[in-house]
Structure 1
Amino acid sequence: MQDTVAELEESRQRYADLYDFAPVGYVTSDEKGCISEVNLAGAALLGMERSQMIGMPMSVFVDKGNVKLIFNHLHSCKQSGETVVTELKLSSKNAKVVYAQFITMIVPGVGSDVTQYRTIITNITGIRNAETEIACLQGTEKALLASEERLKYYASELVSTNSELKAFADIVAHDLRTPMVNLKGFSRELGYSLINLKDIMCEIVLQLPENSQKKVKELMESEMPEALKFIETSVDRMSRMVDSLLKLAHLGRRKMIYNMVDIGELVANIICSFHHQIEMHSIHMDIRPLPQIKTDQMAIEQIFSNLLDNAIKYLDTDRQGEIRLSCTHEGDEYLFSVEDNGCGITANDLGKMFESLRRVGKQDVPGDGMGLAYVRVLVKQLGGKIWCESEPGVGTKIFFTIHNGPLQTEEHRGL
């Protein structure tokens, strides 16, 4: 008999230890919600010595704005007879905000009357803070996407006059570059905060229910790092876009310097710079006689360089590549053409190919979508026009006109 009593006492003591030293709070309350029993974790979480808590209503320990929620929580448990889960903000004597998850079930007494509630209280402040950080990161992502759309809008509004291009460059440099620097800096700070948050959460996570542990792990190890990586790559991409647009604006403002240029010799030098690509892909180059004209050498060199680079990149790998350069003229206006037998461009994309930040055709070809936009601006600076003819699977012809010497009209003077 004594052995049985001793075993029962030992078992009771083990239960008491498990109850008192559990990592989550256990609270037993009567039908009115007044506390009749609480373990050490519950007392610590609710912020009072447990001997002083006996007989106090549970509503005392939640934030004033959540008092109605705790009453509804207990009432719902009583009415349904089922376990009820509610997230509540606890009251705090300091400025620290604590969020807790209340899981309550009823303990039926004699008959059908409810005599007790049993509540498990878990500190979920870490999870709520992590969710707030995720929301912040997602908001930053949206801001990045909005900025990128605004950047494309600015590009589409690019105009040819010096004053408008200068204003555009100022907008890009100030309104977009400054926020990007801030975004990169704050995302780096969020990265450091995430590392610190992981260290803080290591011990707290082990005290949470299994499903909450899984959720925290997913937030800390997957969603938040992915969001930060998205911000980093988006800022880098936007930075390159801004640099390209500033270069475009600079090209539009640069004063043309006219000298006699041997176009044949200039094109031969450009082809030499592409020698490796031409040899590697066995490209046949057909260069017809090209003239000497009075023009800006730097501009015309970049025009041909970009057009040849584009033609080489978009050749069809299923057949031998062919590129042809030719020129005709009428008076002082020269018409150049760059023709290839590459992949070609659809009719829907033809009108977009000279736009800033636009890429048409194959998307696996490296580039920033600015090469033909540079060409368009430079051709216009030289008083010419540019257009394209293309057929998918057949090839592309790009035509542009250049005047021999500067045009002295109001439209082009000072460009």
Structure 2
Amino acid sequence: MSESTNSSTTSRESLEHELHVHQVELVQQNEELQRTQSDLAAAHDRYRDLYDFAPVGYCTLDAQGCITKINLTGAGLLGQPRAALLGKPLARFVSSNEADRWHLYLRWALARETPQRIDLTMNFADGTLHWFAAINSVRVLADDGAPTLRVSITDVTDRMRSEVERRIAAIDADARESERRRMALELHEDLGQRLSAIKIRVANLPESSEVANEIDQALALVRRITFDLRPPMLNDLGLHAALDWLAKDTARRLNLKLSLRMDNDLPPLGRAVSLALYRFFQESLSYLLHETKASELVIDVQRPLGQFILNLRARGGEMKAPWHLDVRSEPSLILEHRARLAGGRLEFDATPDPSGWIGLRLTQNLDLKETPVDRAGRPT
């Protein structure tokens, strides 16, 4: 009887111990589940914040192109509250002249597994405020197997406008270069020839030396103007040779002390880029010398990989009042605008340093995909 009682007591204690162990394990598991749930909730909140406040618009479209989900940025781009956009077709916000392209793109993207992209002109639902969007999408399958599109919408209005401005500037530059080329040809072939003929006719006249000198000076002026309009060495010898000639000719005419340093010009740049950089150098040099009464000029041209860097500095004489470069003046703004249209960055050293130097710096990114050419313009 006693042994049975002891055995029963031992079994009860063993069972109580096991139950206590299981209870501790359940408490630990419950605490672990609560921590996991808390972490999941925090991760969900972070994901929701990242989704809603991303710098680009995100949305999900069904097979008909209707919005089933959209973040706050996307709603802001489309100009309506998020709740009002759900179930609405994205086509309502596509410009009417782009509607066919959008519908073709939607069919194409839903039939492809790879990411797709299209650039569209967008507007608000009432047709106001046109803007440009880059739309990227990828097809995913919903839980029921229906195809949907996950779409990102990026406002590229500023980039598109800059590209349009650059194209207009390029067209304008081409027109101006054509006009310069025409004028240079007429000066050289017409006026230059006429002056040479007049010089020959007056050579045998008495006291013709003064007239001949005047004609020689006129011929030299015609040659200089012709070179300014269309430097032949730019095509024959390349950009660095043309810059070297322009810098030295300017220093000689204005009696400037010149310090000139240029990296090698390999690989040679294409004609369009060389011409644009030459024109900018020409205008920058004229601008700097117009704004200062310089007696010294330092020109430094560098060619690090993928860049063209031009440093122009002037010193000496008296600076025009107010004793610094006015970076908000019209000539300064025009020069800066031209650098920006060409994809470059212009910086001014507007105030003289302790040594009296003042100047500007152009950093121009070069297209590494551009095909280099030799001196004759042939691809290398």
TM-score normalized by structure 1? 0.41
TM-score normalized by structure 2? 0.45
Structure of higher RCO (CA pairs closer than 8 Å, 6+ residues apart):
1
